[in-house]
Structure formats: structure tokens, C-alpha cells
Structure 1
Amino acid sequence: MVEEHIPILVEEFLSFFREEAIGTFVDGTVGAGGHAKALLAAHPEMVHFYGIDQDPDALAIAKETLAPFQEKVTLLQGNFRHLDQFVPKPVDGIFLDLGVSSIQLDRPEKGFSFSHDGPLDMRMDPSQRLTAAEVVNTFSEKKLSEIFWEYGEESRSRRAAKAIIEARRKQKIKTTGDLTEALKRTLTWSGRRGKKHHPCTLVFQALRIYVNDELGAVEEGIDKALALLAPRGRMGVLSFHSLEDRIVKQKFRQFAVIEKRGELLTKKPLVAGCEEQRRNRRSRSAKLRFLSKT
């Protein structure tokens, strides 16, 4: 059974290809296949669709979601930072959705969320070695503080790191519940007027980004994607926090404005409207940017 998945800004995503004919398309983060299904349905002329994802569970769901288009679809396990190893160039369109999907967040065994107690894992690719548990149980207080500040922009990074060191002296931090418990006296709701997210959000975000080298993947992946894109091809990136969006903005500007090799199709990022945010709270922080290659 296909798990419920609500693609974000899907109509806006489709609008950038409405007047375009697509032969070959690459979704470097296919996830559950929500954007892919919408695009394939809207473009019957498409010859080949490549869907790539690190998570084998996501690919299994995508396979079911995209079953009506199976003759056109190739699904591959891997990181989009290695697009050039998976896809023959050139391609007419590329899309990267940088968000953590419900497949990861809603499964306790993935260890991404403080909302569900599970192993402190956080690996997108289960075959990689480094886990969040190894980070919090073996890294120094200084290194943990740096991670929380650099990748979570957590203003209380030093206090959070100290709390983890103190907790692990008593017992190993094995689960998301253990980590939340270790942080609860340090990262509280008090003094967070106007903040909508849980006090542990930024620490969990920082660990996930570090474990999966997400920002490095974005840097490398966008460069590889732009090299694969055919003349007049279009590329979109959906990001969910300022660290990602900053990289996307800089990379797109470098390519289109400074190097004059393309055109920015979004001068400012598109965001979800009030109705979509009401229906899908995960859309609140989404930003969509698009460019075309000359």
C-alpha cells in the first residue's frame, strides 16, 4: 500500500514545464514520487524519467506510485551529488526536493524525529557508516557545539553540547527519546516567544545535516545537475531551511547572472500559500527556485 505523501508546491512546480516538451527528466530526490507522478501525468510525450533516492524504502514506494508509467521510469538508489554517474546527458529537466519526507519523519526506526522514540540513526542511506548515535556519543563537546551552530544555527549550541556530554557520562544516548531527555532542561520553550518549532528542532536538524553531509551534497549536486542540463533545459530546487536556500541562490546566481549561462525564472523564491500551509504544515518553510539554461 502506498503511504500518504503530499508533494509541496506541486502546481507551481508543474507551471515551469507547462509550455515545454520534455524528452528526458531527472528527479534527484524522487522520494515517494509525488512530484514525479504529477509531471509524468502532465507530459505524456516524456520518453524517459530517472528517479534517484538514497532511501530504498522511498524507492519501493515510488515504484508503486509510478507503476502506471513503469515503461518510462528508471529508479536508482544513490545520492544526487553523483548524478553524472547515473544519467546520460543531456536532459531536459531536473528537480531536487531537499526536504526530509514523511517516509523518514514518520518512521521511528529512521531516527529523524523527536516526535517518535526510535534508534538514533538519521542516515538517509542505511548503508553508510556514520550515525547520529555515534556523533552524540563520541564527538567532543567543542565539535558538537560547532555542529549545532553551523548546521542548526542553534543559539544555545554550547549549552546543548554540554548537556549531551553530561548525559552520556551516565549512560549511552541510544534513542531519539534519550537525546530529547538529555536536552529538555537546556532547550526549553521559555524565552522562545514567537517560535513555532519544538525546542529540539535545530539540534535534530543539525545532526541530520551533518550525518548525511547534506550541504556538501547540495553544493556538488547542483554543479553536476547544471552540467547535465541541455540547452533550454530547466532546473528547480525545493529547499526547506536557510542554509540550503542560501547555497541554491548563490549557485543559481553564479550560473545565470555572473557566468551568463542561463536565466533565473524566479527572482525571489516561491513559497506555499496560506491554504497549502494549512493543509500541509511541512510546506511552511518551503522555497522553490527555478532557472533555465541558455
Structure 2
Amino acid sequence: GIVNGTCNYILTRMEKEGLSFADCLKEAQRLGYAEADPSFDIEGNDTGHKLAILTTLAFGSQISADEIYLEGISNITIDDIHAAHDLGYRIKLLGVALKTATGIEQRVHPTMVPLNSVIAQVDGVTNAVALESDILGELLMVGPGAGGNATASAVLGDITDIAKSRPGAQQVPVLGRPAHLLEPYAKAEMTRHEGGYFIRLTVVDRAGVFASIATRMAENAISLESIVQHAKPSASEDESKTIILVTHATMESAVRQAVSAIKGEGYLLGEPQVIRIERPKTA
């Protein structure tokens, strides 16, 4: 789900008004949505802490905030926003928890979601949590996620939970079951995650680069859904071009290995941008 109103506000303003990340952050601070030191929000820590609690509520496991894979939104550019829209996606900072055969996967990172999905319509400081159940299917809860009233309501709810307990006995377990009955947390490694990926590369515009990138992908058994090239008007050899790759479902480890190999080829300019793609079942 989307559980940090500050990040959602920033990404919404970037998309709808074409503003830079820095300008949107400054406005969020002026409105009181972001702290003077916004790093806890924009680097994903706040979302990670909330995801840890939601994971415990969903799966009955011990809280394990330190085991969550974290990426923030500070490296998202307006070019990423535009590229996502052109491909039929919108970028959101998502917290995702999934129970797998090897353990529980918990991750926080910028994510591309289809424009026609319900969660893509959640804008501004609004939060949303989607639950996928075995019987009821997918449930979506939406509400305000930043500002004085939303924060005060959450704090008061916590105080009420504390008031429902008495020394030595919690009459209404806030985590769904007494803390001593929570199951040990078993972590599923992030490298075993499987899904689609958006990869943006800025490279030197010269012969052989495109073939080299395709080779590195093939070597790691990555199937590509689409490839888009954007070159500057000048045909000078010193010019750069942007190559955008969208993969079919593939393993996180394969993408990391392919990107690492590309970085060693000598034609990459700057850091590659890798954004995971989620395709919710409910659209």
C-alpha cells in the first residue's frame, strides 16, 4: 500500500505539475506535510516501520522493521515520471509484504503501477492499503495520511489501545494476538523476488551499445517486453542517448547481475535507474 502521505504528495505534484523533486519537497515542508529533515519520510523509513506493523497484523509474525528492503524516492526524476506515463504507469512509493514458501518478503521502494489500477488513483496526502485474502479477494482501505488531523487521530487510537489493557494482561491484543504468541519472523531474500522491471540507461551514443545491452540481458535470461531509445538531435559521437527497457517477470538477482555487467562496459553515463513494476489484480 501507500502509507506515507508526504511521498505520495511529492510524486503527485511532480506528475501533475511537472515540478522537480526538490521543488515539491520544499512545498511539502511549507505546508507541514514534511519535516525540516525529511529523510525519514523520503528515504522510505517511515513506510518501512508502518509496513512492519501491517505485516505482523496480516501474518502473525514478530515485528521485524530492520529486515525490510528500503528504497526512497529522492532519486526519482521528472524524466522517470514522464517515461512511466508514456508506458501506461504511475510511480508510487509502495510498502509490500508477501508470504512465500521461503518466508515473508517485505520491501519498500518506488513502484510503477498501471494507470487504470485503483491504487494509481490515490493522490496527494491520501494513503491506501490493499489486502489480498484467500476468500474475499482484494480489499482496499483509503484515507488521509498526513497533516495534523490524520496524525492526531492515529496517536489517539494508539492511546486508546493502551487504555484497553491492564497490567500484565492485554484484554484486546493490538497485534491481533498476545505478543508472546507471535511467530518468529522468517525472511524471504529480496534477490528471490520476481516481477517486472523498468530500467533506464543513459549511454554514449555509439555503435554496438544497444547490442551489448541486449546481450547482457539475454545472458541473465531476462525477457524484454519493450525497448525504447531516445537520442538527442545531434548525431555527434559524443552525444548521449537514453535507453528504456521494460522486462517481463524476472528475478531480482538476474536484474542486478545484468545491470552490474552493463556498468562494467564503459559506455554508461551516470547511474542506471531501476524501478520495479507491480500489476495489481484489481484494476
Same fold (TM over 0.5): no
TM-score (norm 1): 0.25
TM-score (norm 2): 0.26
* Larger helix fraction of residues: 1
Larger radius of gyration: 2
